[in-house]
Structure 1
């Protein structure tokens, strides 16, 4: 993610922006704790799975079509997060239609942002940015397109809200009186965070289940026991899916959607092991490696064993 893309979101920003980021985080946390939003999310998921995802998978099965599951789940995740965040559905799971321009812009922006990390020195991409050349030029164009697209959606949402409220996040943020730029950046951050991480987690989850039929059966049995094979599941039902949660945790232990991450210290601090961290220091942690440490997970650390999440001696 580029530092100029979401200036109100990134932790690397100056202290005033950190205050804005904290405000956004508190507001978002409050909204997600609301029962009405949780019910709205479950309803969106149910509709997206039943009316869009399952038909694609059923058609592929009936016609012996090979699908790229990661791509399908990425489309599913983006449709869902757009519905939840913006109240609109880009219909990415309609495979007969071309990929929406907004989706392509996100893909290009993510790619060119990541390219900064492979430059030998940061001065290379900074020079490209200053001169508006190469990947930095394309990154700027992609980001500008995303901003324009989301701004247009915000203005359309404002006009719609004059006739009545909405349950999506955009409606809630606008109703809270936030300015358009802050709302735009918050929505974009949700779209980014909700698409790639969700699709990556689901892809590995289903891949692991496909190789462990006994665990897959346990997952299906738990879901059917809560729904009786008939009724729709609500948010409270989802919280009762203990084994499925363990499977997801185990899947993300082995294959975390974000394999490493880093933060910058806002002030001097000391880590639990006594290591000093000074203001401005970058602290990086490696989730992929941490999930495979023998001292944390035992000798079977490379095995997909959801039951370990019920073993208090392990976690």
Structure 2
């Protein structure tokens, strides 16, 4: 017995020493990684402000500080040396990256590593031939009239059967108690998740039912997206990679969340394989893609990528749209006037697809909102070989190059002296909507990587916005300017509290 006790004690001591050694190694490497990544010897004003966080004395959001710096730069480009990052708000540079020298500016391995566990080989995490194959496949499907019609029907059904009944029930409470409020950001995220799951998988999570249930799939997906995004803001990739290797902290949570997402996706794919039927124009995206590959893991990665892009971006754009409308009530009235001319005054009637195309002011208002509050505030590529940008900026191989749609929407040299004002009319010519140069408005990227779901996303935004504007009076119960949480898309910290009431006619 004494021998066994001694052996147990020795094993515990050995394990303790082993754990202590690796924990110490983890912290040493983390600190080393911090200094290697940040190169704190740089004494320029921008780097020092970043390192000391002194920019927070004047700005609530990092994107606002970058917007200020970029507006003051003669070329619209800045260097954050400690991050190895060139940031630009120059449309000529954006065109250089996304079109002229497209092959020299892939997403790159650093970006792919951040999202690789969640998205695998999906289109939004791929480069080269793999990206081209998926791009071609997705273009054929998303460009078809039948698929777009199917998506529109899902959106209108979700609005009629869930979104409007939910807001009507809240409006009744607000009429009786003016202090009642609702987080519109949360509601829009639930709506978008239900819609994109039905469109992508043929799966209905039911997040927007009146009881507002907590979906395990949605919760796992949210957590996986959030923790994947947090990898990008660590001081060194070595930190999260070590945490992943030892299965510690946030990386342990991320692993579990991704496992839940992947397991459900794989279960749905197996079910569709086992219950195969002739493909129909009324099928979900998975049913269209499933005929193109026998690799179910690859198929899973593709569909999870579409879930990520289709849910968060639309919800983010709509949240910002309703926030900015609350500060510009005259725009709300003009949208209502336009819709009455096209649809008549019956507010309970759902808009038809053809009618949406006639509403140029609504189209302008949606685009103007995303000019100031793009759902993806910045996007980065990695330079493959030494290059010179259009404005003369030299970029060394391996440098991260970021174009910044949020800042670009605030550039006087691009949009004029009224660039900070919300003015939908800037998009109209003789009352007709006119698209902007995509390289000065890269909200949906531009060039060869332009978003394939752009038109579907805009139709969804317009349909939701119009349905709520015609039916309800929505008052935002938040006086402060938006502050954003770190993430893959722009998310308002604290949500968007609203008071909603049925309109009186």
- What TM-score comes out, normalization by structure 2 length? 0.58
Contact 2:293 2:299 in 1 (8 A): no
Of 115, 118, 122 in structure 2, the residue corresponding to residue 5 of structure 1 is 118
Does residue 287 (structure 1) correspond to residue 388 (structure 2)? The answer is no
Whole-Å separation in 2 of the counterparts to 1:156 and 1:222:
46
**Equivalences for residues 119-198 of structure 1 within 5 A:** 119-162=234-277, 165=280, 166-177=282-293, 179-198=295-314
- Sort the Cα spacing of 1:73 and 1:168 in 2 relative to 1 into closer, same or farther, 3 A: same
**Equivalences for residues 108-119 of structure 1 within 5 A:** 108-119=223-234
Deviation at 1:227, TM superposition (A): 2.7
Whole-Å separation in 2 of the counterparts to 1:278 and 1:236:
49
SS of alignment partner, residue 263 of structure 1: strand
Contact 2:158 2:195 in 1 (8 A): yes
Whole-Å separation in 2 of the counterparts to 1:58 and 1:42:
22
Deviates more, 1:225-234 or 1:28-37: 225-234
**More strand by percentage:** 2
Which structure has more relative contact order (CA 8 Å, sep 6+)? It is 2
1:71-93 residue CA offsets vs partner (Å, 9 max, x unmatched)? 00000010111111111211101
1:178-225 residue CA offsets vs partner (Å, 9 max, x unmatched)? 521221111101111111111110011112222222211221222333
1:99-122 residue CA offsets vs partner (Å, 9 max, x unmatched)? 111111111112211222332222
- Sort the Cα spacing of 1:32 and 1:269 in 2 relative to 1 into closer, same or farther, 3 A: farther
Deviation at 1:94, TM superposition (A): 1.4
Deviation at 1:12, TM superposition (A): 6.7
- Sort the Cα spacing of 1:53 and 1:292 in 2 relative to 1 into closer, same or farther, 3 A: same
**Equivalences for residues 33-112 of structure 1 within 5 A:** 33-64=143-174, 65-96=180-211, 98-112=213-227
Specify the alignment match of 1:224 in structure 2: 340
Larger Rg: 2
1:197-256 residue CA offsets vs partner (Å, 9 max, x unmatched)? 111100111122222222112212223333335665443333332211111111111111
SS of alignment partner, residue 257 of structure 1: coil
Contact 1:12 1:264 in 2 (8 A): no
Of 368, 373, 376 in structure 2, the residue corresponding to residue 250 of structure 1 is 368
Whole-Å separation in 2 of the counterparts to 1:286 and 1:304:
19
1:90-148 residue CA offsets vs partner (Å, 9 max, x unmatched)? 11011425311111111111221122233222211111111111111111111111111
> Any unmatched runs of 5+ in structure 2?
1-113, 175-179, 438-505
Displacement over 6 Å in runs of 4+: none
- Sort the Cα spacing of 1:4 and 1:304 in 2 relative to 1 into closer, same or farther, 3 A: same
- What TM-score comes out, normalization by structure 1 length? 0.90
Whole-Å separation in 2 of the counterparts to 1:149 and 1:18:
29
Whole-Å separation in 2 of the counterparts to 1:215 and 1:131:
53
SS of alignment partner, residue 284 of structure 1: strand
SS of alignment partner, residue 83 of structure 1: helix
Of 27, 30, 34 in structure 1, the residue corresponding to residue 137 of structure 2 is 27
Deviates more, 1:302-311 or 1:191-200: 302-311
- Sort the Cα spacing of 1:9 and 1:270 in 2 relative to 1 into closer, same or farther, 3 A: farther
SS of alignment partner, residue 187 of structure 2: helix
